[in-house]
Amino acid sequence: MPKQIVTAPDAPTTGFTDRSTPSPLAQAIRFGNTLFVSGQGPLDPATREVVSTDIGEQTRRTLANLRRILEAAGATFANVVNMRVALRRAEDFPAFNEAFREVLAGEKVTRTCVVAPPHRKGVDVEIDCIAMFD
């Protein structure tokens, strides 16, 4: 069974490489009934620039980017079974969690959240996920 590369043209492809260099990453890969979505950050899809310094806004943009990739694969947050989050600062957790709760609107997932600075300056949150299909 070959893996399927999933690309959402309205979401950034990360990899934090120079913009003139293609990213070495896929936005997502579907293998069988499982979708693995690469870590997304708070980047504007058109400019690949960080949208804000506010953790709430960064979280909402990051989740919007994830949503677009999920949709390109025919999924929604209802298909997500696990998310992993990296926060730059522990003190951002309450505001991050509130924005996360707001966007997921009652949808339940399993989640691990660690304080581990994302690679790119200005990015204060990065989230990846795994989704399942019937």
pLDDT tens-digit map of 38-54:
999 999 998 889 999 99
Higher pLDDT, 39 or 13: 39
Q: Alpha-carbon torsion 12, 94, 131, 70, what sign? A: negative
Q: What's the whole-number average pLDDT of the chain?
A: 93
Residue 21 predicted with pLDDT over 70 = yes
Helix (H, G, I), strand (E, B) or coil at 12: coil
Cα dist from 13 to 21, 112, 118, whole Å: 11, 23, 15
Arithmetic mean of pLDDT, 111-119: 91
Q: DSSP assignment, residue 43?
A: B
pLDDT tens-digit map of 84-104:
999 999 999 999 999 999 999
**What pLDDT is attached to residue 115?**
96
* pLDDT tier for residue 120 given thresholds of 50, 70 and 90: confident
pLDDT tens-digit map of 57-79:
999 999 999 999 999 999 999 99
**What pLDDT is attached to residue 38?**
95
Distance CA 4, CA 1 (A): 9
**What pLDDT is attached to residue 19?**
65
- The domains located in the chain, with CATH, are 4-132 (3.30.1330.40)
Residue 14 predicted with pLDDT over 80 = no
Distance CA 35, CA 89 (A): 28
Which sequence positions are flagged as catalytic?
A: 113
